[in-house]
Amino acid sequence: MATGNAIDPIHQFIVAPLAQIRIGGIDASFTNASLFMVIVLLAITFLMIVGTAQKAVVPGRLQSVAEMSYEFVASTVRGTTGTEGMKFFPLVFTIFMFVVFSNVIGIIPYTFTVTSQIVVTFALAALVILTVIIYGLMRHGTHFLHLFVPSGVAPALLPFIVLIEVISFISRPISLSVRLFANMLAGHITLKVFGAFVALLLGSGVWAAISPLPLLGIVALTAFELLVAFLQAYVFAILTCVYLNDALHPGH
Amino acid sequence: MASEDRRDGEEDQAMKARLEALSAALDRRQHDQADRVDAEAANLRTGRAMSLGFRVLSEFVAGIIVGALMGWQLDAWFGTKPVLLIIMTMFGTVAGFWNVYRLASAPTGSQGGGTRPK
């Protein structure tokens, strides 16, 4: 946009290498994205290890956060896939915690939002879909392909239905990853643009009088972003469960 | 004797007043709690509705995009420039509607049980 770096809402998403590492011609540099992934992992590990270390009957703050997150994900998995789906609980819990911590840490100013990168969200979505496909084929063999062939359809229509079902299946990882990525990206750009409004209004004479308005907007938007951060992690987790449910019980 | 009676009466009245004050406080507290539960339920509903909205939008758009991309790639492979793109975009749109229909016909909330029509 403008020349000054104050009014560049995209700048916050630039992945910059902090330490150059090359392994066999592949750029494996330690970037700011890697740094924040490590921070996210450390925060989750800290919460889980320190939170569950005491094993108090009446939980303290950390312990109740750890227990609440466990209960929340466990009830989501059980409610969507049944008790059978609990074997996927570690996967869903890992994804949920990673997404929720990345989103929330990203709201803090001067941090980097890992989930605002389509590479990261698509890698998570691809992991989910590959798990669904591989587990479905392993467990049900060719019966898993009944997912694409609904029963009771006129034979003349079958090719079209199968095509639509295939497109619908392929669209799942796309929608899963783009939803999370786009929400984070759009939210952070909006915050930045509102911040630029404040700066521009302050520097424009009489109009400085209305500069508190976008500032109030930022306060409201930050609260909204916090809601979206949790909501998107929840949606990601519940859709993971829904797709895993297809792998467990295809041909519903 | 008479003075004792009067004292008892006063104590009774003091007790009654205290009881009323306590039950009023209890009522107020229960009312507050009910309000808070209501607010929490409303928040939960808003969250559910918003997550459903996000899902409907992205599933619909993703269907169209995947259809269009498939058509585009198939066109490049078979050299039938715009034909397959148009056809597959139409199929993608249908798939998008199908996604939304599936979402709407069986909301997969925590109590939805995860059964979907197929």
Task: Please tell me the predicted confidence (pLDDT) of residue A14.
Answer: 83
Q: Determine whether A198 is exposed, middle or buried from the number of CB atoms within 10 Å of its CB (0-12, 13-18, 19+).
A: middle
B115/A171 touch (CB, cutoff 8 Å), yes or no: no
Residue B94 to residue A165: CA distance in whole angstroms: 10
B62/A178 touch (CB, cutoff 8 Å), yes or no: yes
Task: Please tell me the predicted confidence (pLDDT) of residue B4.
Answer: 64
Of A79, A164, A238, which is closest to B98 when you measure between CB atoms?
A164
Pull the structure tokens for residue B52.
Answer: 């459903």
Task: Please tell me the predicted confidence (pLDDT) of residue B2.
Answer: 58
Residues of A in Cβ contact (< 8 Å) with B66:
167, 170-171, 174
Residue B97 to residue B91: CA distance in whole angstroms: 10
What is the pTM assigned to this prediction? Answer: 0.79
CB-based contact B103:A168 (threshold 8 Å): no
Residues whose CB falls within 8 Å of the CB of residue A238, separated by 6 or more in sequence, listed in order: A76, A80, B51, B108, B110
Task: Point out the least confidently predicted range of A1-5, A78-82, A95-99, A106-110.
Answer: A1-5
Residue A99 to residue A118: CA distance in whole angstroms: 13
Mean pLDDT of chain A: 87
In a domain, A51, yes or no: no
In a domain, A54, yes or no: no
Residues of A in Cβ contact (< 8 Å) with B115:
252
Angle at A229 between CA A183 and CA B111, to 5 degrees: 105
Residues of A in Cβ contact (< 8 Å) with B63:
167-168, 171, 175
B49 CB near a chain A CB, below 8 Å? no
Residues of B in Cβ contact (< 8 Å) with A178:
58, 61-62
- What pLDDT digit, counting tens, does each position of A118-173 carry? 999 999 999 999 999 999 898 888 888 888 887 777 888 888 888 888 998 999 99
Determine the residue of chain B that is closest to A227 in CA distance: B47
In a domain, A22, yes or no: no
Task: Please tell me the predicted confidence (pLDDT) of residue B114.
Answer: 39
Task: Please tell me the predicted confidence (pLDDT) of residue A212.
Answer: 86
What percent of chain B shows pLDDT beyond 90?
A: 30
- CB pairs A-B closer than 8 Å: 95
In a domain, A45, yes or no: no
Pull the structure tokens for residue A151.
Answer: 């029963």
B111 CB near a chain A CB, below 8 Å? yes
Per residue, what are the HEC states of chain B? CHHHHHHHHHHHHHHHHHHHHHHHHHHHHHHHHHHHHHHHHHHHHHHHHHHHHHHHHHHHHHHHHHHHHHHHHHHHHHCCCCHHHHHHHHHHHHHHHHHHHHHHHCCCCCCCCCCCCC
Q: Residue count of chain B, please give it.
A: 118
Pull the structure tokens for residue A61.
Answer: 């703050």
A3 pLDDT higher than 70: no
A93 pLDDT higher than 90: yes
In a domain, A112, yes or no: yes
Whole-complex ipTM: 0.73
10-residue mean pLDDT profile of chain B (118 residues): values are 68 88 90 82 80 87 91 90 90 91 67 40
Task: Please tell me the predicted confidence (pLDDT) of residue A240.
Answer: 92
Residues of A in Cβ contact (< 8 Å) with B88:
167
Task: Please tell me the predicted confidence (pLDDT) of residue A7.
Answer: 67
A contact set with B (CB within 8 A): 75-76, 79-82, 147, 150-151, 160, 163-165, 167-168, 170-172, 174-175, 178-179, 182-183, 227, 231-232, 234-235, 238-239, 241-242, 245, 251-252
What is the tally of structural domains in chain A? 1
In a domain, A43, yes or no: no
- Selected residue of A143, A164, A180, A231 to mutate for chain B interface (largest B Cβ count, 10 A): A164
In this structure, what are the phi and psi dihedrals at residue A21, rounded to the nearest 5 degrees? -130, 130
